[in-house]
Amino acid sequence: MIKLCNISDLKIGEKKKFKINENEILLIRLEDGFYAIDNKCPHAGCRLSYYGKISEGKRIVCTCHGAIFSLINGNVLEGPTKNSLKLYKIKIINEEVFLQAQESPP
């Protein structure tokens, strides 16, 4: 596991970008916890740390071209792409936020 930050580093509704190896990961804090997603929109790669707008119902809107993704499962809810948003697993231990190791592809 890789430590990203402390819980108190992000207020509810805030997001923060991390570079982990080759990946850019965007950590988002909502009322019910933390969500980690790929920072690059799967449509054309706009950075969600800049273009991403959190909206109600645990969604993120990429304001580049209007794609809307679910933060729960990464599914496309609307917009110009069929490619889902990549999600990462988060674990909270003693007020610290960790990124869980990714499984290797089969």
**Site of interaction with ligand FES (CB under 6 A):** 41, 43-44, 46, 62, 64-67, 79-80
Which residue's CB is nearer to ligand FES, number 5 or number 68? 68
CB of 43 to ligand FES, least distance (A): 3
Which residue's CB is nearer to ligand FES, number 81 or number 96? 81
CB of 30 to ligand FES, least distance (A): 20
CB of 54 to ligand FES, least distance (A): 14
Identity of the residue numbered 17: K
